[in-house]
Structure 1
Amino acid sequence: MPTDQLHELYAGLFRVVVQIKRWSHPHEEVDPPCLGVLFCASRLGEVRMSELAQEMLLDLSTVSRHVRTLVQEGYLERTEDPDDRRACRLRVTDRGRQALQRARELRAAALGEVLASWPAKDRDDLTRLLNRLADDLESKAREKAATR
Structure 2
Amino acid sequence: MIFLIYVVVTLITFLLMEGITWCTHKFVMHGFLWYLHEDHHQPKYQGVFEKNDAFFVIFAIPSIALFYFGINPDLNFMFFIGLGILLYGIAYFLIHDVLIHQRFKWFKNTKNKYLIGLRKAHKIHHKHLGKEEGECFGMLNVPKKYFKI
- Report the TM-score range of the alignment, normalised by the length of the smaller protein: under 0.3
State which structure, 1 or 2, has the greater radius of gyration over its C-alpha atoms.
1
- TM-score, normalised to structure 1's length? 0.26
More relative contact order, 1 or 2 (CA 8 Å, 6+ apart): 2
